[in-house]
Amino acid sequence: MPRLSEFYGIVVYMYWSDHQPPHFHAIYAGDEAQVRIDDGTFLAGSLPRTAARLVREWLALHGEELAANWQRAQSMETLATIEPL
């Protein structure tokens, strides 16, 4: 599970060949959420309100990079790190 970014104690990961829809995993203080890349909806799990807001803010800035990493992950290619918030 490659680490894509880390900011304010939030760690963002993406699995190779993960299930649809395109998403990433955000972990903060023992909580984990799967977050859709296209709209920021939480598919599973939860994060505290402030962490969730920061993740969505980061997603708004880096959505294209996340989508490109999703394509790489589906092809089992090396994923690019993404700047923190």
Predicted pLDDT at 30: 96
Which tokens in the block code for residue 69? 């990493």
- With a cut of 90, say whether residue 17 has pLDDT above it: no
Stated as kind and residue range, the H or E segment containing 7 is: strand 3-7
Whether the CB-CB separation of 24 and 12 falls below 8 Å is answered with yes
Q: How confident is the model at residue 1 (pLDDT cuts 50, 70, 90)?
A: confident
Residue bearing tokens 């394509």: 71
Averaged confidence pLDDT in the chain: 97
What pLDDT does 51 receive?
Answer: 98
Tokens linked to 73 = 């992950």
Instruction: Record the tokens describing residue 85, joined without a space.
Output: 């918030």
What is the arithmetic mean of pLDDT over 6-29?
Answer: 96
* Global pTM exceeds 0.85: yes
Residues in the chain: 85
